[in-house]
Amino acid sequence: MYQNGSAKYLQNLGLNGSIDPESFKACVPLVTHKDLEPYIQRIANGDTSPILTGKAITTISLREWSRRRKG
């Protein structure tokens, strides 16, 4: 969690760099893929800022997800 403290998603939820489990549980709700879709779309469109993780995500692969869905 400490490595991802600068992620915009977590900052928007009010975590503010806290690294203790209690703060995380209090600030970060359970979400679905649909909830994260706007952030994922930004990454897919080339946004290299730390949106969901502390470091920019530069590659997205749906290979594993597609395989699970078929089976």
Instruction: Give the containing element (helix H, strand E) for 16.
Output: none
Confidence of residue 1 (pLDDT cuts 50, 70, 90): very low
DSSP H helical segments within the chain, as ranges?
Answer: 8-12, 21-27, 33-44, 63-70
b/e per residue 28-67 (b: at least 16 CB within 10 A) = eeeeeeeeeeebeebbeeeeeebbbeeeebeeeeeeeeee
Tally of domains in the chain: 1
pLDDT tens digits for range 17-66: 777 889 889 989 999 989 999 998 998 888 989 999 888 887 777 666 55
Q: What is the pLDDT of residue 67?
A: 53
User: 47 is in which domain, residue-wise?
Assistant: 2-70
Q: What is the pLDDT of residue 66?
A: 52
10 pLDDT higher than 80: yes
